[in-house]
Structure 1
Amino acid sequence: MNQLSFPARVIFIFLLFFFIHSSGFSQKITVKDLTVDHLVNPFSIDQSHPGFSWKINSEAKNTMQSSYEIRVGKGLSIEKNQVWTVKNNSDQSVLIPYNGPDLESKTKYYWQVRVKDNHGNTSSWSAVQFFQTGLDQKDWIAHWIAVEGKDTSSVSPMFRKEINVQKKISVAMAYITAKGLYEARLNGERISNHYFAPGWTSYKNHLQYQVYDLTKSLKKGLNVIGVSLGDGWYKGRIGFAAQKQFYGDTRALLFQLEVTYTDGSTEIFVTDDTWKSTNGPILSSNIYDGETYDARKESVGWDNTGYKENDDWKAARILPKGNEKLVGMSGPPVTRHEEFKPLKIFKTPLGETVVDFGQNLVGWVMLKAKGTAGTKITLTHAEVLDKAGNFYTTNLRSARQANQYILKDNATQIFEPHFTFQGFRYVKVEGYPGELTADALTAVALYSDMQPTGSFKSSSPLLNQLQHNIQWGQKGNFVDVPTDCPQRDERLGWTGDAQAFATTAAYNMNVAGFFTKWMKDVSADQLENGSVPFVVPNVLSPRDAGSAGWADVATIIPWDMYVAYGDKGILSTQYASMKKWVDYISSVAKNDLWNSGSHFGDWLFYRPNDDNDGRAAVTDKYMIAQTFYAHSTQLLINAAKVLGKSEDVEKYETLLKRIKEAFVKENMTANGKLTSNTQTAYVLALQFDMLPEANRNQAAERLVQNIRDYGNHLTTGFLGTPYLCHVLSRFGYDDVAYDLLMQESYPSWLYPVKMGATTIWERWDGIKQDGSFQTPDMNSFNHYAYGAIGDWMYKNIAGINPIAEKPGYKEILISPKPGGKLTSASGELETVYGKIKSSWTLLDGVFKLDVSVPPNSTATVLLPRTDRKEKIGSGSYHFEYKY
């Protein structure tokens, strides 16, 4: 080699390096991140064919799985207890359905997988994972219990039961649910890190239960189970018009503990009238109004052994068995996440003591205090300060968002709520004894336990803050259901907001389980005629349904989740609901035009105060309805094709053609101008292919001219905004899309950032340029809908795109589009196959792109300003050229 010239040596080394890293020789392949139905070691699998998924680790480039082998058994030694095995020459590694003997209820199954790759390598068997099936309805022998007499008090009741375990324990599993919210304890400790259990579902249709493994915490001998109940969504104030007891007037507990002993015998402990109940220190707890806790009323040790019950403890009342359908928990629980210490503690101009945590978040504040018994400390929560720097709560409407703590004797106490949550950045503290210091306060963020999957950053600090705001808007509003706002007297699962943001949500976090759970409630609350409510779970009037862009959640989110996660199961589960929704529109349409019903339209579009010259960007609501009629029909066709429903494909393709013809006839002039000459009108017409191809470029030109007429500002609302930049990019106007994205003055995405926002606002000008506020009736400062721009940022700036024909990023399109004076941008996304990376820089006229593709995936790379199209397999790649 010493005799080779320098260039030859370089080439030789490169070829040697390429050979080593491209061949399968000496390369190992392993399997990791095993899940069942998107969950890690789940305890309450209800369905008969759960899906197995895994990821592959390999350092070799261009690695694809060539076959897999799964085995399932009833013991850790799967080979000795095997119930099913399957071998398949396939590259599929996502949601492979179990097809063995019928699964038995309340049974733990163990499983593992091994794979072969296209280089001839075979992995070892993966680490053993498990899933446990839930309880059948017939397996429930526990009784629903409530307090003695009518449940009229606002005080949270406490239930307790002593149980005597007389043998050595092998396995102990607890099954718990409640009407209301519960917090369960065993021998003085919380049994889990879950909050707001059993979660919010369409209670009239199904109620979730949770399963907890208590094997390590249950002990031989005497044990004490203690459970507190709160009003929650079930009984507390929810919805508008001071609505209470929407689902029922009685908080109740259902608890079943099944213990298997080492000798093989079993014992079941259940709720019945041998349980005792009394009132606890939580005097009231309401999701909107907060919690009042009186430490003087604590029963110290009530949830542990050695406690002596007094006469206040009464026998629990057994409730008649109802027709509740109990289902296993399918989505992630709400858990604690980030904690924040105060940035500053200060006095406002009005003399109030206020704490600034620096981030608008959802959760609560832990308070440490010491004082004389009876001292009342009140924490009131707000998102913003007013123009003068005073504490501002008018936008909360009737929600109090206040927690009150009443001290016992002079011992140091730490308080936090149990059955409520607040949306806030600022906290007003009243009644604190002594000097209030930062160590007395900690803000805790609570949201559904979704793993972060995506990250985006660029050379623009403003864009990076926008991405931060989008992520925190998602965290604050994904509290078991996708809420529209987490602070005022609303906090409802508005369907329009959710569908607008779903694809962005799937970039930021793993929302597969979150939306799978919620979409079951969309189906459950769907009206018999097929119409879909404004909010889910539906706590409004049954008549409040069928708004275009809101009700279309029935078709949009199932398809989006299929594309993001390759989950054919959600299409199968939701297909009947998708079809019912499209058929409902058809039933009310006249001559294929959906020109009836009540619609929100392009909600919160640009509407200047003085509209004498017709500058308000009003888009005809029926025009919007027709575009979503077409969109939902197209998505139904897509789903029918995936599921092999050929008759439906033919039927709805014929319908779709008529819908688009009716749109053109009704809404387009002979010269190609739309009757509503707004950005939203052109965006929706182009996004959903409503116009003949010959008219589309002209329509895109009209859209661009409209944007220029508004000084490079958007005028779109909730329905137009998610698609605005996508349409511009599709028709070759990336420069205009960047002009909108980088616009710093109102209305724009960066205007709130410049105004100090740490989450996405409900309105483009929630805080006006003079420091005053928009109308307080509807002015949330944590409202994720406009954060839908994140989808375009990931897809077009970072360039990470799914391909619907190969969903779940089985095939990837890497297509970054530099612009907006950015000199760099990068994105990462943890997919069901592994991590995708796309990072670029543009300096001194040289474009550099680094791409990583996970094993068992492939990618097509489109290099900007070139005709180059590179097809690549797994591995890391670098591209560099003069731009």
Structure 2
Amino acid sequence: MEQSLRIAKLQVEYMENPIAVDKERPRFSWGFAPAKERGLSQSAYQIVVASAEEKLADGAADVWDSGKVRSNRNRNVAYEGPALQSAKRYYWKVKVWDAAGSVSPYSEAGTWDMALLGPEDWQARWIGVTASDKEAWAEEGAFGPKDPLPLFRTTFRVGKEVSRAKAYICGLGHYEMRLNGEKVGDQVLDTGWTDYNRTCLYTVLDAAPYLQTGDNAVGILLGNGFYNVTGGRYAKYKGSYGDPKLIMQLEVEYADGEVQRIVSGEGWTIGRSPITFSCIYGGEDYNALLEQAGWDRAEFAEDGRWRKASVVPAPRGKLALQNLRPNKVTHRFAPVKVSESPQGAYVYDLGQNFSGWVRIAVKGAPGSTITLKPGELLQPQGDVNQAWNVSFSYTLSGEGEEIWAPRFTYTGFRYLSVEGAVPVELIPEAGNDELPVMLRLEGQMIGPDVATAGSFSCSNTMWNKIHEMINWAILSNMKSVLTDCPHREKLGWLEETHLMGPSIMYNYYVPELYRKIIDDMRDAQLDNGLVPDIAPEYTVFDHDFRDSPEWGSAYIIATWYAYNWYQDRELLEQHYEGMKNYVGYLSGKADRHIVSHGLGDWCDVGPNPGYPQNTPIPVTATAMYYYVADIMKKVSDIVGREEDSRYFADLAERIKDAYNANFLDGETLQYASGSQTSNAMPLALGMVPEGLEDTIARNLLDDIRKRGNSLSGGDVGFRYLLMALTKFDQPEAVADMLLKTDNPSYGYQVAHGATTLTELWDGPTFGLSQNHFMLGHAEEWFYAALAGIQIDYESPRFNEVRIQPHLVGGVEWVSAHHDLCEGRVEVQWRLKRPDHWKLDVAIPVNTTAIVHIPKFGECSILESGNPLHSAKDIEWLGERGASRVVKVGSGTYSFEVIGE
């Protein structure tokens, strides 16, 4: 019998039709198309896999047929068939049954290609820059403080019809691959950053569109990236894993089944590129006079500038597939204003602070050099504030209109100082015919090609601006790691992965990114269990900047959040021992279950931002110790470690007892210093003795009110403050803090022109980083509390969400959505008048929701115009506090609360 279930959005390992999967047992996921009927759920599924599309269409699945499996699971269902072959493409589809036994049509066919599964599949060899190459360039006058980057090339023939072609490539630090004069793909800053002594990522590119019958050429540029931090201008640190190198294997599959392999190794040649300087921190210089036209084409005739490329030793790190979405140009910004500074430079205002680079179109005399200096702020007199010595330069070839953008570095900025060129808009005023003309200039934002997973808006325009500001900061700091800032450090400080984890996950689909970041933490972990504050650990900091529990605990907390958000049990299994070892490390540092080291509530409110001024470090450090022990108890249960579960349960109780004995004042019923962070963390994490929660919560609220509704917590404490206030039903207190426009507040940043979240609350006027997302915790509150879309990341409740909106004064309406694997959750609520509130909810197929409907004294509650108790497809769960609670299945619902 036909029914309304329709399958949508097939994924293998979180990607649609991936061209490289490195797991021997790939996992399948699928969602559902929206349906008018309510309460639709999956009761069984059947997956079929074939070696060819026609076999799948004929129903002759020659690889694997799962048969009918009774389960409502639609995420991360593992392949259970025979061994899969390297580099081969497979085809699959799925159908499902509903609770009544009706079966859906099969989905459309999906595909995935296997990656190179073992070292034996690689025939390519590593080639790279050697000392003899540098000596030759030095003789040409091309080597010195500005080290040129290399070009590599080879030629080959294609003699038959091509069915598929894929390039497997790792270029360290970054690479750009070209075929027959064109760049292959639109990714940038590939491959992702890792500890190259542990892991080196390779990517897979679709090369077929770039091939031609007959002679072909492949050309590869290499950049330094984090593999080779040269310094020379500003650099957070200097260090190198070695000179740039690459390995590349291009597999051309012909229509007749033959496979031709073009591999890096002997027979390739190396030349110097026009990139004369490139540092991931300091910028990039390009000299177009050094270009060799056609170097990436087969007909190019090499001259004495080209040498035989050398086979070099492989890096120490293991070669592994890059299982995350690549960085691309995601946004473009045209200048909103161009002016001349008192120093004679031209200042471009791009209107938005972001991370990336600029693309310019210029025309001028050969040898003319244009220098571009980025900055986040302007000086009072109007020139760009160059807090860091970062610059880009382009030397013209003089051949008509020239277009250029950097390749292997980026920075954070809004403003750009241009020296050596006149903006085309200002030529009449400039009156300088000798300088090149800047025909066009465009800011290009760089970030991973992640899907948007949510939206939020409300009637409060300032809150909408805060939402936008936080998201620009998240996107600006999202690369292959989550950086703290895109200009000064670019390092993966780990506290943000968990403190801002839900805020990120509400907005963006990031399962692959989190898997990669968690792998980085594994690679960074020391033998004694310590997880450093940054991963990859490119530089070893001293003391607390290497070992802070609020940072290192990310290995456990971020993994736990990713599991709960994306139903990824494999994460827990792969990292269980490492997570367990980190708790063991903290236990070794604890004194009678109290942990006393670390950075604490970093950058809390006070005259000296940095180390905490309001909350003792042991308060936050020990609270995190308790939290990770509690999480590990749950993880142990999930992976079947019963003895460990008992151990972690006992450890968590002992930590809690010690915490209360050391920090809870029995007379004042305040924790430690009585700061907001001191009281909020035990409330949020469930550490307060039973019966005292309301008193501690009142003390917390009193402190907020005494401060004029101001916060005092920092990087760590502010998130737990919002969690505690939400847990104890104090949305008005949060709203009052978010409505402020004096320092400290988001509103202060908005009022002073910030376009991204700044490092400190008074950032736009104080002048430190203008692009940090470490204090963006309001984003989680907007989704989870104000809109009320709650994803439970403490107790796994797959295929269930909670809808619990919180009404606050001055907000007339809220609209939000969040995309689950199953489909879209939508919430819109509106206060039509003081005694009339309307809530519209949409729940995707195969999902249930617990909906909390607030009461307004004596009132009537309707659903789709009918009294709630008589409404169909709704299960009454009773009253909880000031709400009436119901359970609903998939579908759309419209609730109204009308005062009597």
User: What TM-score do the two structures reach when normalised by structure 2?
Assistant: 0.90
Equivalent position amino acid for 2:662 in 1: E
Please state how far the C-alpha of 1:546 moved relative to its aligned partner: 2.6
Question: Which of 581, 601, 618 is the equivalent residue of 2:614?
Answer: 618
Alignment of 1:686-705 (within 5 A): 686-705=683-702
Give unmatched runs, 5+ long, in structure 1: 1-24
Contact map agreement 1:49 1:97 (CA 8 A) in 2: yes
CA–CA distance in 2 between the matches of 1:581 and 1:295?
A: 51
The Cα offsets for residues 21-62 of structure 1, whole Å up to 9 and x where unpaired, read as xxxx97533211111111122233222222100001233221
CA contact (8 A) 1:861 1:872 kept: yes
Q: What residue identity is the alignment partner of 1:413?
A: E
Give the C-alpha shift of residue 258 in structure 1.
1.6
Change (3 A) 1:805 1:462: closer
Per-residue deviation at 1:434? Answer: 6.0
Alignment of 1:698-737 (within 5 A): 698-737=695-734
Counterpart for residue 15 of structure 2: 39
How far the C-alpha of 1:681 sits from its partner, in A, is 0.7
Counterpart Cα distance in 2 of 1:513 and 1:476: 18
Specify the code of the residue in structure 2 equivalent to 1:587.
G
2:139 aligned residue: none
Secondary structure of 1:385 counterpart: coil
> 2:97 is matched with which residue?
116
Q: 1:106 is matched with which residue?
A: 87
For residues 425-458 of structure 1, give each alpha carbon's deviation from its aligned partner in whole angstroms, at most 9, with x where no partner exists: 1111111146357961111111011101111101
Tell me which residue corresponds to 2:129. Answer: 147
| 1:316 equivalenced with 2:309 (yes/no) | yes
1:600 counterpart residue number: 599
Q: Structure 2: which 5+ residue stretches go unaligned?
A: 135-142, 427-437, 856-881
Answer yes or no: is the 8 Å Cα contact 2:357–2:443 preserved in 1. Answer: yes
Q: CA deviation at 1:116?
A: 1.7
1:17 aligns with none
Q: Check whether the contact 1:552–1:632 (CA below 8 A) recurs between aligned residues.
A: yes
- 1:308-707 equivalences under 5 Å are 308-321=301-314, 323-394=316-387, 396=388, 400-433=389-422, 435-436=424-425, 440-488=440-488, 490-541=489-540, 545-595=546-596, 597=597, 599-608=598-607, 617-671=613-667, 672-707=669-704
For 2:137, the equivalent position in structure 1 comes to none
Give the SS at the match of 1:216.
helix
Is it true that 1:53 corresponds to 2:29 in the alignment? yes
Structure 1 equivalent of residue 757 of structure 2: 760
Aligned with 1:824 (options 782, 805, 813): 813
Cα pair distance change 1:250/1:825, threshold 3 Å = same
Q: How much does 1:323 deviate?
A: 4.4
- How far residue 355 of structure 1 moved from its aligned partner, in angstroms, is 0.9
Letter in 1 for 2:847: S
Q: Deviation string for 1:73-92 (max 9, x for gaps)?
A: 22222344521111211111
Q: 1:168 aligns with which of 161, 168, 172?
A: 161
Q: d(CA) in 1 for partners of 2:108 and 2:318?
A: 35
Q: Is the 8 A contact 1:378 1:431 kept in 2?
A: yes
Matched residue of 1:29: which SS? coil
Pairwise CA distance, 1:191: 0.8
Query: Structure 1 residue 348: deviation in Å?
Result: 3.6
Give 1:559 shift: 1.0
Partners of 1:231 and 1:161 in 2: how far apart?
22
Q: CA deviation at 1:322?
A: 5.1
Q: CA deviation at 1:279?
A: 0.6
Q: Is the 8 A contact 1:31 1:55 kept in 2?
A: yes
Q: Secondary structure at the match of 1:757?
A: coil
Q: 1:255 to 1:736 in 2, by over 3 A?
A: same
Mapped contact 2:803–2:850 kept (Cα < 8 A): yes
Q: Does 1:847 align with 2:837?
A: yes
In structure 2, distance between residues paired with 1:804 and 1:428: 46
Does the Cα contact within 8 Å between 1:148 and 1:314 map onto a contact in 2?
A: no
Q: Is the 8 A contact 1:808 1:831 kept in 2?
A: no
Asked if the contact 1:27–1:59 (Cα under 8 Å) also holds between the matched residues in 2, the reply is no
Contact 1:361-1:425 at 8 Å conserved across structures: yes
Q: 2:140 maps to which residue?
A: none
Indicate conservation of the 8 Å contact 1:63/1:119, yes or no. no
Contact 2:234 2:281 in 1 (8 A): no
- 1:288 Cα shift? 1.1
Q: Which amino acid aligns with 1:882?
A: I
1:259 corresponds in structure 2 to: 252
* Residue range with higher mean Cα deviation, 808-817 or 279-288: 808-817
User: How has the CA–CA distance of structure 1 residues 240 and 791 changed in structure 2, closer, same or farther, with 3 Å as cutoff?
Assistant: farther
Distance 2:254 2:52 in 1: 16
Please say if residues 740 and 747 of structure 2, whose CA atoms lie closer than 8 Å, have aligned partners that are also in contact. yes
Q: Distance in 1 between matches of 2:371 and 2:820?
A: 44
Counterpart of 1:6 in structure 2 is none
Q: CA RMSD in A?
A: 2.2
* SS class of match (2:473): helix
Q: Which secondary structure state, in structure 2, belongs to the residue aligned with residue 694 of structure 1?
A: coil
- Give the 3 Å change call, closer, same or farther, for CA 109–433 of structure 1 in structure 2: same
Query: Which secondary structure state, in structure 1, belongs to the residue aligned with residue 28 of structure 2?
Result: strand
Query: Quick check: 2:524–2:536 contact (8 Å CA) kept in 1?
Result: yes
Q: Deviations over 1:660-690 (max 9, x none)?
A: 1111111122222222221111111211222
> For 1:211 and 1:339, how far apart are their aligned partners in 2?
26
User: CA separation in 2, counterparts of 1:637 and 1:358?
Assistant: 48
Contact 1:712 1:739 in 2 (8 A): yes
CA contact (8 A) 2:231 2:282 kept: no
- Return the alpha-carbon distance in structure 1 between the equivalents of residues 500 and 518 of structure 2: 15
**1:487-536, Cα deviation, whole Å (9 max, x unpaired):** 12x11000112221111000110011111111111011111111111110
Is this contact kept in 1: 2:235–2:282, CA < 8 A?
A: no
Q: 1:860 to 1:45 in 2, by over 3 A?
A: same
In the superposition, relative to structure 1, how do residues 100 and 507 fare at CA in structure 2: closer, same or farther (>3 Å)? same
2:74 maps to 1:85: no
Tell me the matched-pair count.
841
1:260 Cα deviation from its structure 2 partner:
2.4
Q: Distance in 1 between matches of 2:113 and 2:101?
A: 34
Letter paired with 1:749:
Y
> Which of 400-409 and 452-461 deviates more?
400-409
The 3-state SS of whatever aligns with 1:708 is: helix
2-structure distance, mates of 1:571, 1:142: 34
